[in-house]
Amino acid sequence: MANSKVNHSPQKPGANNNTAAMGEGQGSNKLQRKWEVYPGRNKFFCNGRIVSSPDIQGFLCCMALIIVTDCPYLAVKVHPVIPVVGGVLFILIIGCLVQTTFIDPGIIPRATLPEALETDRLYQLECQNQENAANNGAYQPPRYKEVMIKGRQFKLSYCQTCQMYRPPRASHCSRCNNCVERFDHHCPMVSNCIGKRNYRYFYLFVTFTALMCCYVLGCNVAVIVLRAKDTDIGEAFKKSAGSIIEGVICLGCLASVGGLSCYHSMLVCKEQTTNEDIKGTYNPRKFKDASNPYSHGNFITNCCAVLCGPRHPSLIDRRGFVDPSEDTQAIVDTANARGRIPES
């Protein structure tokens, strides 16, 4: 499903001819790419090749904290292997952070005008057939659809912003103003939504960060212990002031990142998302049939499916060109067009 240019005002007859005439007089008009007119709040870089959320400041802050707290200590040559291991962890952390921030998390394209009108028409017909239009035939917005997935019934909510029924496990992010597949949460520290296409990188990022905190903390303790053997303990602490400060920082990071890594490890083993866990989608206390149709039966298969499965292609054509002649495919509010829907 491809996105197109947003156009809220109808064109007058002959407007295309006037535009063409102006283009012939001024030279060929530059075609816009779809990311330039995309209706969401995301930021695009490198001519649409990279996508991120509007709060890119969180990514820059997170990057600065990693560089300032880790890199100086890794240069201390306690043993030739120690800086190498620390450097490898550092590269893995930065790589996963960049992947998490600048990959399309699984944005679902918004409905085009014909698709939104068809959805409204079918819903109105359904209301008329079921005699549910109680307000003298007044328009009622679509609410939800019911689907069966492996024997369990799910409700697909209708998104008023994207003008479509959201797929299972999808949710609308109010910060990015997009519906995201397998929506987990919006993370301001990595400046992106966590969804179907970048969840594995987010999980590896927090896991490698927790390992790095443990690694650096262990090195700090080892330095203090080795210095205490040569001198008294008070002198060792004086000489290791930098290691103590770094150890305190690592303890603080480990308290938050370590807990987050353990929590997401539990979710990966169950093949669940943070959004589903908070809502209690598979909680037997809330639902009689609380089975998870997406689970593969055991935690090993679930981990392989989440972390080692193929990365799905992006659904939005960010770098495609906008066709000025395809105004009927514009993404608009269908409130002005509902009067044109024929009644049966």
Active-site positions read 187
Q: Sign of the CA dihedral 54, 60, 63, 65?
A: negative
Q: Alpha helix locations (H) across the chain?
A: 15-26, 57-74, 81-102, 113-129, 199-230, 233-239, 241-253, 259-270, 274-279, 299-308
Q: Angle, to 10 degrees, between the axis of helix 199-230 and the axis of helix 81-102?
A: 150
What are the φ and ψ backbone dihedral angles of 55, each rounded to 5 degrees? Answer: -95, 65
Structural contact between residues 100 and 189, judged by C-beta atoms closer than 8 angstroms: no
8: closest CA among 331, 322, 325?
Answer: 331
The pair of structure tokens assigned to 124 is 């109105």
Count how many Cα atoms sit within 13 Å of the Cα of residue 19 in the half-sphere of its side chain.
10
Which residue bears the tokens 């790589």? 95
The pair of structure tokens assigned to 329 is 């495919």
What are the φ and ψ backbone dihedral angles of 248, each rounded to 5 degrees? Answer: -65, -45
- CA torsion angle for 183, 307, 85, 73 (degrees, to 10)? 10
